[in-house]
Amino acid sequence: MSITMTEFWLISAPGEKTCQQTWDKLVAATRNNNLSVNNKFNIPDLKVGTLDVLVGLSDELAKLDAFVESVVKKVAQYMADVLEDSRDKVQENLLANGVDLVTYITRFQWDMAKYPIKQSLKNISEIISKQVSQIDNDLKSRASAYNNLKGNLQNLERKNAGSLLTRSLADIVKKEDFVLDSEYLVTMLVVVPKTNYAEWQKTYETLSEMVVPRSTNLLFEDQESGLFSVTLFRKAVDDFKHKARENKFTVRDFQYNEEEMKADKEEMTRLSTDKKKQFGPLVRWLKVNFSEAFIAWIHIKALRVFVESVLRYGLPVNFQAMLLQPNKKNMKKLREVLNDLYKHLDSSAAAIIDATMDIPGLNLSQQEYYPYVYYKIDCNLLDFK
């Protein structure tokens, strides 16, 4: 199942005479040949702090970005797992603030209540880090409880399915199929391949001593074989088993025990009820916390653009953040247009690169470097097998 999710390029460039001018230039440059759909990306007036704090923060935010992205993906993937058969419903549960992800990103508004901008950048990033770590831990414990339940239920269901040689026989046989409470007689259950039915009917009475004549009944069939009952004297059981095996008849070890069978059935009902009970609240929790984690993630992108823009373009803060939704067919062309548009930034950027190659904070070597600030936001959060 492919869900056409979207990739965004979040970029920033310094303000020309005004930031509006920077924006107009980008729009004009990408307007032709349908290169991208563009939106202004609103970042509020955050507290700058000192330069060395910014350099350190740049590094921390890169790690935090990767961590939060991984949690967003985990929650989304687990939502898909939990929804099992209705995976097409996954998409409508993966919302941010009640709207689809593309809408949320393209109309991004900083959440002042959650992440107060009077706080320092470091504090804001710590608020996000704590919040998302909590979601990660809660997910682990909730998932483990639910998976446990699901696993136990599947094991029980598996017991009641599969071949007659291995499956549970409890739901196949009835009390009246057995001679019960007899001191001398016992009823055995034998799996006979369909191709050997005639052979069985011909030979079962003589496989050992003391088999009750005409005591066999076909109780159940699957694709390959049938389950027959046969009654004999207890003391002949071992001999009968041995001879049956030589003739490709498989005796199942089975004692009819009503208590045990009832307990199994009740266990299955209990697990099934528990699973249904937990399903609703779990999906609700996943929905709410997917939204929380995703919102946190986009706020980190905003923080990164802010920090990187100040480090690259200097103070006073003067840059325009822009969100591009590239046309898949024209990505290469879009890169070229952006390069032409911003390569003049590179003389100073090149100097910055030379000067900062040894500063771990700027982390430029690990990703492609462009003359403008650039971060990718990939909304393709699910990999369906």
pLDDT tens by residue, 200-241: 999 999 999 999 999 999 999 999 999 999 999 999 999 999
Hunting for tokens 């984690």 — which residue is that?
293
Residue 335 scores a pLDDT above 80? yes
Q: Which residues of 239-264 are buried (b: 16+ CB within 10 A; e: fewer)?
A: ebbebbeeeebbbeebebeeeebeeb
Residue 65: pLDDT band (50, 70, 90) is: very high
> Half-sphere exposure (CA, 13 Å, Cβ side) for 347?
1
pLDDT at position 296 is 98
Give the DSSP letter string of 292-337: HHHHHHHHHHHHHHHHHHHHHH-SS--EEEEEEEE-GGGHHHHHHH
Mean pLDDT of the residues in the chain? 91
Domains along the sequence of the chain with CATH: 7-130+292-378 (1.20.1460), 175-255 (3.30.70.100)
Q: Flag the least confident range among 4-8, 21-25, 163-167, 312-316.
A: 4-8
Residue 353 scores a pLDDT above 50? no
Task: Report the candidate in 189, 193, 190, 250 with the shortest Cα–Cα distance to residue 223.
Answer: 193
pLDDT at position 158 is 87
Residue 3 scores a pLDDT above 50? no
Average pLDDT over residues 85-92: 78
Tell whether the torsion through CA atoms of 378, 382, 384 and 385 is positive or negative. positive
Hunting for tokens 């207890």 — which residue is that?
234
Amino acid at position 115, single letter: Y
Structure tokens of 6? 């979207």
Contact in structure between 125 and 303 (CB atoms under 8 Å): yes
pLDDT tens by residue, 259-318: 988 998 899 999 999 999 999 999 999 999 999 999 999 999 999 999 999 999 999 999
pTM of the model: 0.81
Residue 167: pLDDT band (50, 70, 90) is: very high
Cα pseudo-dihedral 4, 9, 10, 15, rounded to 10: -140
